Copies of this chain bind each other. A is one copy, B any other.
Amino acid sequence: MFIKNLPHKTVERLSQYRRALLMILSKEKTHVFSHEIAQMLHITPVQVRRDLMLIGYSGNLRKGYDIKELIDLIGRIIDSEKGQRVAVVGLGNLGKAIISYFKGKRSKLAIIAAFDINPEKINRVYDGVACYHINQVSEIIKQNNISIGIISVPSEQAPEIAETMVLAGVKGILNFTPKPLNVPPYVYLEEYDMITSLEKVAFFAKKNDERFK
In the complex, the answer to whether A202 meets B78 with C-beta atoms within 8 Å is yes
> B98 touching A194 by the CB < 8 A rule?
yes
The size class of the interface chain A forms with chain B is: 35 or more
Q: Can you name 13 A-B pairs with beta carbons within 8 Å?
A: A11-B200, A12-B196, A12-B200, A15-B200, A78-B202, A84-B206, A93-B93, A93-B94, A102-B194, A148-B201, A186-B208, A186-B212, A188-B208
B195 to A190, Cβ gap below 8 A?
no
**Which B residue sits closest to A77, measured CB to CB?**
B203
Stretch at the interface among A16-24, A26-34, A60-68, A117-125: A16-24
Contacts of A109 in B (CB 8 A): 198-199, 202
Q: Mark A71-83, 1 if CB is under 8 A from B, else 0.
A: 0000000111000
Minimum distance in angstroms from A199 CB to a CB of chain B: 4
Contact B93–A205 (Cβ < 8 Å): no
Residues from chain B with a CB closer than 8 A to the CB of A203 are 11, 78
- Complex interface: chain B residues within 8 A of A171 (CB): 205-206, 208-209
Q: Is A140 an interface residue (CB 8 A)?
A: no
**C-alpha gap A192/B193 in the complex (Å):** 11
Contact A80 B173 (CB under 8 A): no
Q: Which residues of B contact A80 (CB under 8 A)?
A: 202, 206
Complex contacts, A15 vs chain B, CB 8 Å: 195-196, 199-200
Given A97-B94, A180-B41, A187-B208, does the pair A78, B199 have CB atoms closer than 8 Å? yes
On whether the beta carbons of A205 and B41 are closer than 8 Å, the reply is no
Q: Is A161 engaged at the interface, CB distance under 8 Å to the other chain?
A: no
A45 at interface (Cβ–Cβ under 8 A)? no
Instruction: Please name 13 further chain A to chain B contacts, defined as beta carbons within 8 Å, in addition to the given A16-B196, A102-B198, sorted by A numbering.
Output: A11-B199, A15-B199, A16-B193, A78-B202, A80-B202, A84-B205, A86-B198, A92-B97, A93-B97, A147-B209, A186-B211, A187-B205, A188-B207
